[in-house]
Amino acid sequence: MGFEDTRGTLFYEFARCVKEVKPKIAIGENVKGLLSHDEGRTIKTMVNVLEELGYDVEYKILRSQYLDIPQKRERLIIIGVRKDLDIKISFPKEKDYIIPLREALLKCPKSGGQEYPEKKKKIMELIPPGGYWRELPVDLQKEYMGASFYMGGGKTGMARRLAWDEPSLTLTCSPAQKQTERCHPEETRPLSVREYARIQTFPDDWKFSGSVAQQYKQIGNAVPVNLGYYIGDSIIKMLDGEVEDVIEERAEMVHFQPQLFSFAT
């Protein structure tokens, strides 16, 4: 709902903080849909507010699957630089490889997670890796989809099983939501909490609090750790005046490894 949503007003709190602190660089993150919200007027308002506060502003969609994250997760990153500074805005450069789910979940620690009811499990057992509800026999498609069967759109997230050789689809606050199913590629169950954390590139020793549902929500709502790393690395290079080849020099060093997620070395 944009600025009509309670969460939308957080932008004005962000702008208030920027106004009071006057940081050299301000960074904002949001969903890709912000670009088209209200026919582009919402993002235009945000940019105008930051410019009035004395910042040059640029924004870009970053694709996580090309930044050492085993997940197809697109996020809008907004960067503002104070106009009195000679700093060129730069964004992380995409890699020429992806991290498949098989590599991401290698030797993943066991943990709790949601389970399917028996009826749904029988349905999901019929879905091959990378498939979704259209893989079912037509009579089961109609039964599972209900009224949605007769509506338009691909609805490719429904009864979706992930594939080993691809990054995960975007994680949500729950792996077993009907519209955005995230079933394990091989076992007929939703992704576990630790698998969720792996896909978001949290370290294996990172602790999450609360119920299983709350832990899924914390992880699903987070900015992927490696995305935060690359944005931070770009900002440091900007401050140091090193905007050329911001990330390329590290490509060899930071290939995804199960024991290395946060790059906090």
Higher pLDDT, 17 or 149: 17
Q: Which band of pLDDT confidence, cut at 50, 70 and 90, is reported for residue 61? A: very high
Higher pLDDT, 150 or 51: 51
Question: In a 3-state reduction of DSSP, which class is residue 96?
Answer: coil
Q: Which band of pLDDT confidence, cut at 50, 70 and 90, is reported for residue 177? A: confident
Instruction: Go through the domains of the chain in sequence order and give each one's CATH number.
Output: 2-97+242-250 (3.40.50.150), 102-221 (3.90.120.10)
Residue 253: per-residue pLDDT:
35
Q: Does the pLDDT of residue 52 top 80, yes or no?
A: yes
pTM comes to 0.86
Q: How far apart are CA 253 and CA 235, in angstroms?
A: 19
pLDDT tens digits for range 84-113: 999 999 999 999 999 999 999 999 999 999
> Rounded mean pLDDT of 182-206?
97
Phi-psi domain of 119 (left: phi exceeds 0; alpha: psi -120 through 50; beta: other): alpha
